Structure 1
């Protein structure tokens, strides 16, 4: 074979057609004559002349090259043969070593297997022991879990049964109240019916008497004056009109009766209400002497009343069921109002005396848990002087707050303390407490004897006024019926009275309850309305619990 030029491209040599197998150049078809030492390829005479005739190419005769190459290979042959012998001996040694090593390693392997067989057996036995322990422990844990589960299920069943019983008891009470009202109505109608039947029978007797005496002149002359007198007497009674009016009153009063329900402070309540009725004193609870100069602030549940010792601002809770009073806050800050947000949180409005500067009212609204531990304070913008804030909670659980002597009322989300709405009254200021209605309207004390109902947009919807009310008057709202109860001091009689007012501003009943004011307190406390529908008044020495009954 010969090479192609330039460097790096190899020329393939092949036998020439029509000739014997002579080595020839594939490119020129000429016999190979030379060997280029630079390019290390065999070449023909034309290749040598055209492509390899310039230095540094150095050419050797091809036959000399072939001879030299054969000589070099022949010189290597003894060494190759010696190496072959050495490799064959090495191969024999490899086989021997392999056999010997395999035998030795097999022995080691057997020893390993024998040694670790016992260890694996021991591990297996240990595993079985541990599994038994685990199973025993698991069985015990399962037993304990089952016991715990059964106890929890039992406790759950007990709790739910208690809840069902409470609901049944409440239902039974409501049905009993409804039955009592029904019995009152039935008795009144029965009395009217008996009275009406008596008159009907009397008229029949008179008519029969008239027929009888008309048959004889002598009888007519003698008995007619008596019959005429009886007729005039019955006609003068105007029984028909009186009984008709009474029936109208019965119908009106019955139509007032309704079942009201809703949530107050996150708790559900339901009762029979809507009628005017009559309030009867059912319990009197003495306020402990340690609470000097007491002032009732509000309710935090159906039976828990907040009472403040005005002289040192200590806060007490009186349970109207157990009649037990407990101190919950040492004092230091005058609390103006309080209301439950839910079963866990209570909000209080406060007055911080001596604070006269700054653009925020800090520490005038505080959230407490049910153990009366401070959760956090909520601040609102300060408008002018003063640092007294009143609060209430609306049907959505939002806090309603207002700075006294200002026109703004704030709706605050207790979840993040953000003011979600600012309500501005036009031409009026908050001079006392604020109360939320279920409609979303707000009742605000705007004068000594004036209360204003405003919408969430600040629109004035009703003005409630009475000359007999005074600076001491306070207003509380029944959260289920939106009925307003105004408590005031009748100074001429030294009594405290309560008037009932509709949310539209109509005075429905005057002095539904009245009790003598004690000299122990300088204040007129609000008349509280419990979610179950009772009134709780405070004369400064005692709490009076009133219950409403249906009358006709």
Structure 2
């Protein structure tokens, strides 16, 4: 391969024709003389003789090759120059095109950005519009919610004021009742104080007269008979004992006064009671002539009464004095009592049923006297007469007349949760006490208090009740009111009895028996403490006042 010799080489090359450059063989160090077309190599003489002297090698003189190739290169120069000129023009076009492209694409880019900027702004404006709408709708909803809230709060305030007014009115009434009792006691004690003071002053005057008379015989002789008569008169009055007895009665009466409260028929009641007082008639209410007996109390003001001919049921309101028919005469209701402010339970007597269960003898009604459902209990014997009451826990007590079982029924699901078996038999009504015990009519003139296990705790009896009697219990005080017929006087009388069987007061009420009915109806006790008696023609409402 041809190469330039480095500086300092000992071989001195001869200059070639037409050239002043040195060029020698890399292998032999001799000047290049030929060019082998076959191998495309520049060679020296020795290379030419040894390696390229025969076919297919074809050698040309190096100078001719140089000249020829220089000539060809020189021939290409105008084209190169033209190409250079063209390329310069092309470069200018490229730069122009680039500038145009940059300008145009920048415009496009600016238009794109402007368009999307507008779209983004449009979306933003749309969002703002939607937010305004949302805020307006939310403000309207908030306004409506606030109005609803304010209305509910206002309704709560109105309801609170209404309930507070009822409570304040009730409190005011009870305080007024307590004040009346206090005034009666104060007046009685004041009267006793005056009576006692009068005696003290009289005795003091007598002592003064005795002292004065003893100072002169004449005065003693003349005035002694009159003074002695005064002494005998005051001693015979026995004021000390009378006042002492009266104070004892006052103490006993006041000791019994108490504030009682509790739930009856789903409503809460409070009152002053516990004392033995005087029952005074407030009003009498005429009822339809077909009514023969009273069945029970279903609210503070509503009393159920029954037609004696076809057993239709009526309700008399003791405030309005109106009587309305609520049930036809297909069933005979023996007892009725409210479970709560919305539901009434009735015990019934049915004819002709011989199944092993008493169906249709216990019925739940709403306050419009529409049937909610019937409750059945096991049947024992041939009777179909069932009496009911409601205990302190809202459970129904139900008993079949002339049988020993009392069933405790949950009105929520009609299931019997307990069966109380007593030693005797139920002969009439059963009444629940607040203590949990039960008063059972076990005879014409006998009532028995039993525990929830059926154990007899107290037997209540009076010979005067022999011509049939009825019992009703005050649910707040557990006081029993026994109504009976006094044949000698042809009157109904009511005795007040404690749950321990102690007769606290005889004939607290007495009213003439009407010829219209042979049935003894119970004297009902309202939750507020009034008594309602039935003589066969009218209902009589009584209220109690303290007597000292």
Please give the range of the TM-score, normalised by the shorter of the 2 chains. Answer: 0.7 to 0.9
Q: 1:253-295: per-residue Cα shift (whole Å, max 9, x none)?
A: 1101111111111211111101110011112222135xx1332
Aligned to 1:482, what secondary structure does the other structure show? coil
The residue number in structure 2 matching 1:422 is 419
Instruction: Give 1:544's match in structure 2, choosing from 503, 516, 540.
Output: 540
- The alpha-carbon distance between structure 1 residues 372 and 131, as it changes in their structure 2 partners (threshold 3 A), is farther
Q: Distance in 2 between matches of 1:503 and 1:148?
A: 53
Q: Which residue does 2:140 correspond to in 1? A: 140
CA distance in 1, matches of 2:127, 2:386: 72
- For 1:259 and 1:126, the matched residues in 2 are separated by 72
Determine the structure 2 residue equivalent to 1:185: 185
Q: Partners in 2 of 1:117 and 1:314 — Cα distance?
A: 88
1:401 lines up with 2:398 in the alignment: yes
Could you tell me whether the CA contact under 8 Å between 2:296 and 2:335 is conserved in 1? Answer: yes
2:323 alignment counterpart: 325
Whether 1:350 aligns to 2:372 is no
Change (3 A) 1:147 1:115: same
Equivalent position of 1:307 in the other structure: 305
Matches of 1:365 and 1:283 in 2, distance apart?
Answer: 33
Q: CA deviation at 1:474?
A: 0.7
Q: Deviations over 1:461-481 (max 9, x none)?
A: 221112221454110000011
Distance 2:125 2:351 in 1: 81
Give the SS at the match of 1:468: helix
Distance 1:340 1:311 in 2: 25
Name structure 2 gaps, 5 residues minimum.
1-109
Unpaired runs of at least 5, structure 1:
1-109
Note closer, same or farther for the CA distance 1:344–1:234 as it changes in structure 2 (3 Å cut): same
Q: For the residues of structure 2 that align with 1:123 and 1:288, how far apart are their CA atoms?
A: 82
Distance 1:525 1:349 in 2: 16
Q: How far did 1:534 drift?
A: 0.3
Work out the CA distance in 1 between the residues paired with 2:157 and 2:238. Answer: 63
Q: What displacement does 1:131 show?
A: 5.3
Match of residue 436 from structure 1? 432
Residue 327 (structure 1) shift: 2.5
Q: Does 1:220 align with 2:220?
A: yes
2:98 aligned residue: none
Q: Offset at 1:242?
A: 1.4
Match in the other structure for 2:368:
371
Classify 1:408/1:129 alpha carbon distance in 2 versus 1 (closer, same or farther; 3 Å).
Answer: same
Q: Is the alpha carbon distance of 1:338 and 1:132 closer, same or farther for their aligned partners in structure 2, counting shifts above 3 Å?
A: same
Instruction: Give the alignment of 1:119-518 within 5 angstroms.
Output: 132-289=132-289, 292-355=290-353, 357-426=354-423, 428-518=424-514
Moved more, 305-314 or 225-234: 305-314
Task: Indicate conservation of the 8 Å contact 2:350/2:384, yes or no.
Answer: yes
Sort the Cα spacing of 1:432 and 1:288 in 2 relative to 1 into closer, same or farther, 3 A.
same
Report deviation, 1:250.
0.9
- How far 1:145 sits from its partner (Å)? 2.3
Q: Deviations over 1:413-434 (max 9, x none)?
A: 22222222211121x2111100
Aligned length: 440
State which structure, 1 or 2, has the greater radius of gyration over its C-alpha atoms: 2
The match for 1:531 among 501, 514, 527 is 527
Tell whether the 8 Å contact from 1:271 to 1:533 is kept in structure 2 after alignment.
yes
Q: Which moved more, 1:324-333 or 1:183-192?
A: 324-333
Distance in 1 (CA, whole Å) between partners of 2:114 and 2:373 is 74
Paired position in structure 2 for 1:76: none
Q: Distance in 1 between matches of 2:233 and 2:411?
A: 71
Residue deviations 1:148-196, cap 9 Å, x none?
Answer: 2211111111111111111111111111111111111111111111011
The answer as to whether partners of 1:293 and 1:520 remain within 8 angstroms in 2 is no
Give the SS at the match of 1:521: coil
The whole-number CA distance in structure 2 between the counterparts of 1:190 and 1:358 is: 69
User: 2:446–2:461: 8 Å Cα contact kept in structure 1?
Assistant: yes
Deviating more after overlay: 519-528 vs 382-391 = 519-528
Higher mean displacement: 414-423 or 498-507: 414-423
> Using a 3 Å threshold, how does the CA distance of structure 1 residues 468 and 112 change in structure 2: closer, same or farther?
farther
Q: 2 CA distance for matches of 1:534 and 1:360?
A: 38
Greater CA deviation, 132-141 or 313-322?
Answer: 132-141
User: What SS does the corresponding residue of 2:447 show, helix, strand or coil?
Assistant: strand
Segment of structure 1 superposing worse, 535-544 or 137-146: 137-146
Contact in 2 for aligned 1:293/1:522 (Cα 8 Å): no
Quote the offset at 1:140 in angstroms.
2.9
State how far apart, in whole Å, the 2-side matches of 1:207 and 1:138 are.
97
Which shifted more, 515-524 or 334-343? Answer: 515-524
- Could you list the per-position Cα deviations for residues 377-416 of structure 1 after superposition, in whole angstroms to 9, with x for gaps in the alignment? 1111111110111111111111111100011111112222
The DSSP-based 3-state class of the residue aligned with 2:420 is strand
CA contact (8 A) 2:385 2:400 kept: yes
Q: RMSD value over aligned CA atoms?
A: 2.4
Residues 1:226 and 1:142: Cα distance change in structure 2 (over 3 Å): same
